[in-house]
Every structure is written in C-alpha cells, then in structure tokens.
Structure 1
C-alpha cells in the first residue's frame, strides 16, 4: 500500500537532515540497503546533512565512520551539537572566557572557532559529553556556575546507548548540577532546540518547508523538526515504536519502517 505521506516528503523536500544511529545504522551495522538508498537520494537531487547530538566526537570522526560504512559522499555534510555550541558562542559571547567540560576533540573544535578557553574565572561554562570526565572538572564547573557563569549545554540526552548498556550523557549531569547548585542551562544547543536548527539553516539555501528532519526518536528528532518549522519523518528502525508514533504528542508528518522505504518514491 502506498505511503502517501512519505511520497509527499520525497516529492517536496530537497534537504534531508539525517540522524545517524537508529536511522542509517545501528552501531556498526547499516540498516538494510542504506548505501543504495542514500545514492538514490543523491541521484534525485537530494542534499544530505547528518545531524547528531553526540558532542564527544568531531565531524571528521563521524565522516570516517560514514565512509567506512560506504555512506559518505563529498556532497554530504555532518553537523554536531558541539559545532552548534561553538557557533552560538561565536555569535553571542564573542571574546568571552569559556570553561569547557568536554572531550579533546570538542576542545579543538572550539579553539578552531576562535573561542577563548580558560580554566579559571570564566564568563561561560559549557557542559558537553565528556568521556574523560573527572571529579575535578565537575567541581570546577559547579563552582563557576555558583558564581554566576552563563550556562550552556550542548544537548539534553540523559543517556548514550553503548555496547548494550546506557552510559550517562549530558542530561544526567544537568540533573547533577541542578541538584548541587540549583542551576538549569541558560541555553541548550542540540536537538530538539532551535540553536542547532538556526545554525543548520544558515548553511542551507532551502526554505524550511523543503527541509525534512529524519530520525528514530520522537522527543529529540521529531520535536526538533517541529520546533524549527521543518518537515518530519519518523523511522521505526531505532528507538520509537509504531504505537508511540500514534500516541505521542510529538507527531511526525510521515512514518516509515526505515529510511529505505523512501527509495520507491524517488
């Protein structure tokens, strides 16, 4: 039976913002015949932007993985919540001193963007996904927040699925600082918020109604699309179920078992 909503997305959208894990791959495994689906999308003139809330890795690291899976094409691009945070700081806190809780890859991203990183007396604290987190980093961030530093988080995800278990992600540490110093972030940059959407829009030439967010999570991917005025496509190849797609307050314009379904409408 024809999926009319999916057909409309395929016909009317020029830019596809793709979540990665759960949408185009699961861990190290491609979802179905994704390589051919992506090639067919490009052949139909569709632009592909890979979006991720994971701020622990650089765009280059994601490109290497996508290339290893034979998904990458030089016409594509990758955008992370860490990149959105760096762009936000450049625009709104230019010249300010920034304390970063994050990986070395994100630190390098910030330095390339010209952000003045420091270890004492910052104007801004940025909380990102840090795989080398220490108590000293937590203590210092807590102290700076108590003293009134502007508070930025890269993304709100509470956990990061890894090797069959859930690791604490930025959202878990947001709760920690909410408890310890009664602070909530002044700004969250990643999905489902608009900072990342605004950053991506500035890099694209398409109007909002020609952009579609594709993902497997209702409360991040689909809500991100709605919050930014983009079209939305939920795929059931990752986290969300068909029942949740029907009952959630975050409703997608179109639902498909996987992104591979779109190939027949291109």
Structure 2
C-alpha cells in the first residue's frame, strides 16, 4: 500500500476536468470501510479528519461495505470505540441489504447461510427462517467460520434447485495479515462443485446499494460521491449509479492498476485525509 501511494507524486490527481470542485459541492459521501477508512479495525491517518470535516461542513456520511459477516450493531459499537457516533442508517452492509432485498422480492424464505452467526441473526431479524436442511435459498457470505461441511451442504442444495445468492462478488478482503478469501471466492467453490451459477450477486459493483442510499438521503446522484479503494467494486458501483467517485490508495488499488484498467475514478487521493483537505479548501 505504501508503494501505491508513492506512485502518486501529488496528494491527489484529477482524472476528469472539474471533478475536484464538483466533489467539493457533493452533499452525501458514501464510504467503503475496509481499505478505505481502516485496515483490520485500525483507522488510517486522516480518517478521523475526514469525519470531522464532513461534520463541520454539514455534509452527510454513510458507510457502505461489501462485508457480509457482521451485524449493523457491531459496526456501530466498533466506530463508537473510535470516538465516532453513527446512527443505524449510516451503516449499510451487503449482507443485511441482501436479506432485505430477498424479503422485498420474494417474501420470507427458508434460507441456508454460509456465514457467521451474526449474519444469520440479521436474516432472522428481517423475517427469514434460517435452516440447516431443505432450504429454498442458499446465501453465500464472507464467512470466517467456513468449513468443508458448509460448502458441501451449499453445493448439494443449489444442485437440487435452491436459489443461489451471493452477498458480494469480492474474491478477497484486505487485512493486516494479507488478503482473506471473501464471498466471491467461497461462492466460486460452490459454483464449480455444483455446476450451477449464482442466480443473484448482490453488493458492489451492483448499483442497487448506492441507489438505495441516495434515495434514503434525499439527494440527487450528482450530489453524491462514492469513495473506495477498489476499482472493480467501489468505483464501478459509483459509476454505474451515476455518482462522483474518488479512489483512495490505502487499500487494494494502485496507480499501475488505474492506468491499465478501463474503470477510471473521477479523482484519486492518497487517503481520505487528503480528501478532507480538498473539501475544507486546504489544497
């Protein structure tokens, strides 16, 4: 990650003319968490500055993560320990959003979840029945408690016709230890073993999550900015939702990847502390 930062000679780079001023005028900032705000629970230098800057300027902040193994309450408690108080409506996770989407589209279902107890609780909370046998839906999440038995069951259930749902397409999740296998990697094992492709893949880069956040905050898409560290999820999701986008170099992406990728953010910043300086008019 340090090497990525060194590849950007200035604190930020504007890839679309006028993007800096348009982003300064945005009313809603939608932030990825892992690799953007913190790594393995440790905030980056400048993260608190960014939150304080939005507060001073009266702008809205929503954290949007593809992490699908935790409850909303666990995030609220974690941020509170950092001295940052958030409301439930300021945290949107792919796991919880998937549960709510399935309920809205199909009604309450019998669901087998490849996931932690926390995400099982969230599915039950919104109205689904979490089961170990004969499910109507199989949901694959980012599961740090993954076992062979879980993959075996998921494979057999989707082979028999259960709806195959993946909360997010990420192949890995950044951590201080290095990349961790994420929902996309786990779902790939189920897909290859069963010969069945997922029916629904939720989370970024699908624009549904961002569109939902924009709608709930009563702003236009041109008044919203998606900030993240991954081109193929965070930035692509913002582009597909029609928002402004900022790529930070504290997580997965680096300048070499930006140069090679067809997915281009409107602005690149070394970290969200730099973005705070931009919003406050310091640079």
TM-score (norm 2): 0.86
Aligned length: 265
SS class of match (1:201):
helix
Which 5+ residue runs of structure 2 have no aligned equivalent? Answer: 1-9
Q: What's the CA shift for 1:76? A: 6.7
Write the mapping of 1:15-54 to structure 2, written as runs, cut at 5 A.
Answer: 15-54=28-67
Where does residue 81 of structure 1 map in the other structure?
A: 94
Task: Report 1 or 2 for greater relative contact order, CA contacts < 8 Å, sequence distance ≥ 6.
Answer: 2
1-structure distance, mates of 2:272, 2:180: 27
Q: In the alignment, is the contact (CA less than 8 A) between 1:47 and 1:76 conserved in 2?
A: no
Q: In the alignment, is the contact (CA less than 8 A) between 1:156 and 1:171 conserved in 2?
A: yes
Q: In the alignment, is the contact (CA less than 8 A) between 2:69 and 2:115 conserved in 1?
A: yes
Which 5+ residue runs of structure 1 have no aligned equivalent? Answer: none
SS class of match (2:264):
coil
Does residue 229 of structure 1 match 2:242? yes
Distance 1:76 1:237, change over 3 A: farther
Where does residue 70 of structure 1 map in the other structure?
A: 83
Q: In the alignment, is the contact (CA less than 8 A) between 2:72 and 2:88 conserved in 1?
A: no
Does residue 243 of structure 1 match 2:261? no
CA RMSD of aligned residues (A): 2.0
Write the mapping of 1:71-220 to structure 2, written as runs, cut at 5 A.
Answer: 71-74=84-87, 77-220=90-233
Q: In the alignment, is the contact (CA less than 8 A) between 2:34 and 2:174 conserved in 1?
A: no
Distance 1:187 1:118, change over 3 A: same
Q: In the alignment, is the contact (CA less than 8 A) between 2:73 and 2:88 conserved in 1?
A: no
Distance 1:69 1:7, change over 3 A: farther
TM-score (norm 1): 0.91
Stretches of 4+ moved more than 3 A in 1?
1-4, 71-76
